[in-house]
Amino acid sequence: MMDWPFYLDSVFPALNRGLGVSLQLIVPSALLGLAGGVLLGSLRVFGSPRLRRAGDMYTAVLRGVPLVIQLFILYYVLPKIGLYLDGFSAAVLGFILCSAAYHSEYVRGAFLSIRQGQLKAAQALGFSPLQSIRFILLPQAMRLALPGCGNEIVYLIKYSSLAYMTTCVELTGEAKVLASRHWRYTEIFLAAGLYYLCLTSLASFILHKIEARAHIPGFGRQK
Partner 1 sequence: MLAYLAAVAGEAPYILSGSLVTLGVVCASLGLGFCMGVPLALAQVYGLPTARRLVAVYTWFFRGTPILVLLYLFHFGLFDALNLNMPALVSACIVLGLASSAYQSQIFRGSLEALPAGQFKAARALGFSSVQSVRHIILPQALRLSLPGWSNEYSILLKDSALVYVLGVPEIMTRAHFVASRTSWHVTYYILAALLYLAITALGLKLLRLLEKKTRLPGYNL
Partner 2 sequence: MNEKTGTFPEPALRLEEISKSLGGRLILDAVSLDLRKGERKVLIGPSGAGKSTLLQCVNCLVLPDRGRIFLKGEELDQSDNRALRLFRRRVGMIFQDFNLFDHLTALGNVGIALQKVRGLPKAEAESRAVEELARVGLEGKASMYPAELSGGQKQRVAIARALAMDPEVILLDEPTSALDPELAGEVLTVIRDLADGGMTMLMATHQMDFALALADEILFMEQGRIIEQGVPSLLLAPGSGTRTLDFCSRLALGAEGRI
Q: Which residues bind partner 2 (CB under 8 A)?
A: 115, 117-118, 120-128, 131, 135-136, 139-140, 143, 216-219
Q: Check the CA dihedral 162-165-171-177 and report its sign.
A: positive
| 3-class DSSP assignment, residue 2 | coil
- Residue 160 Cβ, how far from partner 2 at the closest point, in Å? 32
- Residue 128 Cβ, how far from partner 2 at the closest point, in Å? 6
Neighbouring CB atoms inside 10 A of 184's CB total 17
Query: Within positions 148 to 207, which residues make up the interface with partner 1, using CB under 8 A?
Result: 154, 158-162, 164, 172, 175-176, 179, 185-190, 192-193, 196-197, 200-201
Site string for partner 1, 54-73 (x = CB under 8 A): -------x-xxxxxxxx-xx
| 3-class DSSP assignment, residue 167 | coil
Maximum alpha-carbon separation in the chain? 72
- Give the CA angle between residues 126, 127, 130 to the nearest 5°: 150
- Of 76 and 135, which CB lies nearer to partner 2 in the complex structure? 135
Neighbouring CB atoms inside 10 A of 194's CB total 11
Say whether residue 102 binds partner 1 (CB under 8 A): no
Using CB distances below 5 to 8 A depending on partner kind, what does residue 218 bind out of partner 2, partner 1, none? partner 2
- Residue 123 Cβ, how far from partner 1 at the closest point, in Å? 33
Using CB distances below 5 to 8 A depending on partner kind, what does residue 59 bind out of partner 1, partner 2, none? none
> Whole-angstrom Cα distance, residue 158 to residue 30?
12
CA 140 to chain centre: 21
Going by the DSSP 8-state scheme, the letter that residue 135 receives in this structure is: I
Binding residues for partner 1, rule: CB under 8 A, are: 61, 63-70, 72-73, 75-77, 80, 154, 158-162, 164, 172, 175-176, 179, 185-190, 192-193, 196-197, 200-201
